[in-house]
Structure 1
Amino acid sequence: MTYTEQSLDALRLVGDELADATVATLFERGEVGKFNTLMRYVSTVGQELPDGLPDVAREYLHETSSPPAWVDWGEMEKARLFFIDNNVHISTALSFASMPACYVVPHVAKLLSATHSLKYPSKRMAETGQFTVYLMQPDAFEAGSRFIPAAQKVRLLHASIRHHLAREDRWDTAALGTPICQEDMIGGQMMFSIQVLDALHRLGIHMSVEGAESYYYAWRVVGAMLGVDQEHVPHDLEAARAFSDLYMVRHMGPSEEGAELTRQLIDLYEEVVPGTFFDPVVSALIRYLIGDTCADWLRVPRTSWDTVVKLAPALLNVLETIEDRSPVGAWALDRLGHLTTLFELSSLTRGRVMHYAIPEHLKKDFDVPSYAAHTHRWTPPPPHLS
């Protein structure tokens, strides 16, 4: 699949027809409040939908209740094992590489600033972390799972943002395209997949080619369930890199919103890190993972830890080697990673479950694993900048 400026421009005009129509009808009929109230009690697969749920919402939930028919469950199991093996590293990459990558795209940073209170930066991180944990459970698509209802709600949340921004004259559609358009949804999929893999590589994490491919595959499934048109989604890592590189070169740059969101992210994690001595590690890690140019655009402060953080790959390489050679060591490190991820998620959510409700209005004020040996290591190719 070949991507061009023209083909990506066309994707900027398209949203998500099914979710957009559902949200528009809920607002037209004044049923958003009723939907949110009833859907708070629908959190797992297999639950009976509550009486009184608006018909249009019931139809949407029925139509989106199953994963795509093309899903390869063997690949999804490989992705789950990859996540177990690398969960704490993936959480690190999501927090300190993927989110700053979102902020370095000015129109995405503008949208995030317009739709999320800056007083609660943990909300988006908590929602992302919780969503990923739900996805990587062994029963993610079975009765009792929380993943599918979460995906259904996130898709409607995105549609509601498009609805509000288009009607409240808070978005320059002519210049910026449709809010959360198909290009940006695919771009977001790249940030949470291939850019995570790049960050893991930069940290010195051992990954097999099979593990990297399966992890990317899982995010293709996620994209399909979030309303991304699969005709335009890269189907493999090579195509994903071509799309990601072109997308970032087209859009990345400095912005006030991006710098403010990054400052909030740094402050949030400095609060999570015990004490104050290690606080500069947060800024240093972001700068190391996204590079000096992007870090300067986001006004990530330079610290005395910038040089120290560059030693992280050597340390992680030692731990990864222990994991590769010792089943007991692998079990212990996987368990430690699992507990660390749960601790981080608990800190961000304050122990609460995130519900992904449809906002009735927007805020006006900015208040590899045992299945594959670590031979044939995955190494990212150079960027496609042409």
Structure 2
Amino acid sequence: MPETPEAPPSSSASSRGRWTDEVLEPFRSMGEPVADAAIQAVFANNEVAAVNRILQSLHSNVHLVPSEMPDAVETYLNQTDDWPEWADAEKVRLGQQLFQRYGMQMTLAYFTWSLPCCYAWAKAAKVLTWTGGIDKHVHRRIIETAQFVLDVMAEGGLGPKGFGVRTAQKIRLLHATIRYHVGKDPTWQASEWGTPANQEDHIATLLTLALVPRVLTKLGLDFTREEEDAYFHCWKVIGHFLGIHPTLLPRDLDDAEQLWEAIQQRQVRPSEDGVALTKALVDYLKMRIPGTMMDGIVVTTMRELCSVAVAEAVGLEKTDWTRHLVAPMRLMFSLSDEAQDQADFAAKMSASLSRKLLEGLHSSETGGSRVTFRIPQSLQESWNLAGAEDKKAS
């Protein structure tokens, strides 16, 4: 592993607001007490098989019934499914409506901006490659992330016993399991890399989802401040369900953008892990796009959305002829935005790439095993994907 380069010059302190290194650094050694306690109790009671069933239920996207769960996990689920007092139900509804309307374009951004940003954080990328099997790991992470986003952003996903709440709770347990196992590995350098799946990495990942509307303006979409605020608030509520420390949840959108800038300055560094993860991601997305002529559009879109620092950190290859498609793509996104109608021809064209990726996930396999991927009915109808489930079953 090459020596980690020195940090790039810091921009003005005002761009980071209150998020100084002194504020953020302690969160690198912090896990999540509630989920950690549940997992520790399960292992102490030698209920490993039950943990495996819980994590498998995340892959297969099914609910667990109480009889299948250890007491500690059932208690955890009952303790962590309430909305926070500060949650605004109307903003959550507006945020989900925005996703219902622009979710195809947002999904494209998750694949081509959110994940590369995660891989650009050298310390966070370390835990993602720790267990080996990078290709299998990246494929499963793509599917799980996409499923999680669809579950929490679908109509009713964050309601009582909603699919989104349950998926967030299970991901929270998955992170606790990672901390339990990797944290016991004597070769894990906690003093240098932090606690595996720590709080800073969690809020950073959440921001790659919560700030997507801002990123999509690079492709011609335009959102009102009210829409961006509602979308961010929706993800702030989701962050609560994921067990992110209340102190780390930004107060508002401006605060979130300052936190994002601080984390980028702190964590974006070139690494072999980030390069390997991104290569696996690019290869996977190319595989999901029919044919080979448009393979270059994956890297082209990543380079258009990601910062130069992120692109360099993850070793993105150079763009090919598909870079000339960026302007038409931006025009199509803009037209679909003006049309305000996902049934419009331009909207369908602008979302065609993400549609192919979503449809490809239905036939996904990781490590030779089939992965179940479910698009909520309300989103299938909004995105004209109503036949996707039938395609998967055939």
Normalising by structure 1, we get a TM-score of 0.82
Identity over aligned pairs, percent: 27
User: Which has the bigger relative contact order, CA under 8 A and spacing at least 6?
Assistant: 1
Q: CA RMSD in A?
A: 2.7
The 8 Å contact of residues 134 and 146 in structure 1, kept in 2 or not, is answered as yes
The 2-side partners of 1:346 and 1:16 are apart by 34
2:213 corresponds to 1:197: yes
In 1: Cα distance, 2:55 partner to 2:222 partner: 41
2:390 matched residue in structure 1: none
Residue in 1 aligned with 2:225?
Answer: 209
Match of 1:344 among 354, 357, 361: 357
Match of 2:311 in 1: 295
1:208, distance to aligned residue in structure 2 (A): 1.4
Residue 163 of structure 1 corresponds to 180
Question: Following the alignment from structure 1 to structure 2, what is the Cα–Cα distance between the partners of residues 182 and 40?
Answer: 24
Match of 2:205 in 1: 188
1:320 paired residue number = 337
For 1:190, the aligned partner's letter is: L
Per-residue deviation, residues 167-187 of structure 1 (Å, max 9, x unmatched): 012421111221121111111
Are 1:108 and 2:108 matched, yes or no? no
Which segment drifts farther, 200-209 or 307-316?
307-316
Distance verdict in 2 for CA 1:17–1:143, change over 3 Å: closer
> Structure 1 residue 353 and structure 2 residue 372: aligned?
yes
1:31 counterpart residue number: 47
Please give the secondary structure, in 2, of the residue aligned with 1:86: helix
* Matched residue type, 1:348: L
Show the counterpart of 2:265.
Answer: 249
Instruction: Give structure 1 stretches of 5+ with no counterpart.
Output: 356-386
The answer as to whether partners of 2:54 and 2:64 remain within 8 angstroms in 1 is no
For residue 49 of structure 1, report the CA deviation from its aligned partner.
Answer: 3.4
Structure 1 pair 319–52 and aligned structure 2 pair: CA distance change class (3 A): closer
Alignment of 1:126-275 (within 5 A): 126-142=143-159, 145-194=162-211, 196-275=212-291
Aligned to 2:26: 10
275-284 or 311-320, larger mean C-alpha shift: 311-320
Cα distance in 2, alignment partners of residues 70 and 13 from structure 1? 27
Structure 2: gaps spanning 5 or more residues: 1-16, 365-370, 375-394
Say if 1:213 and 1:237, in contact at 8 Å, map to a contact too: yes
Seen in structure 2, the aligned counterparts of structure 1 residues 267 and 341 have a Cα distance that, compared at 3 Å, is closer
CA contact (8 A) 1:285 1:309 kept: no
**Aligned pair count?**
348
1:33 shift after superposition: 0.9
Question: d(CA) in 2 for partners of 1:214 and 1:348?
Answer: 28
1:82 to 95, 98, 106: 98
1:332 is the counterpart of 2:344: yes
User: Aligned in 2, Cα 1:145/1:40: closer, same or farther, shift over 3 Å?
Assistant: farther
Cα pair 1:165 1:171 within 8 Å, conserved = yes
Q: Between Structure 1 and Structure 2, which shows a larger proportion of helix residues?
A: 2
AA aligned to 1:70 is W
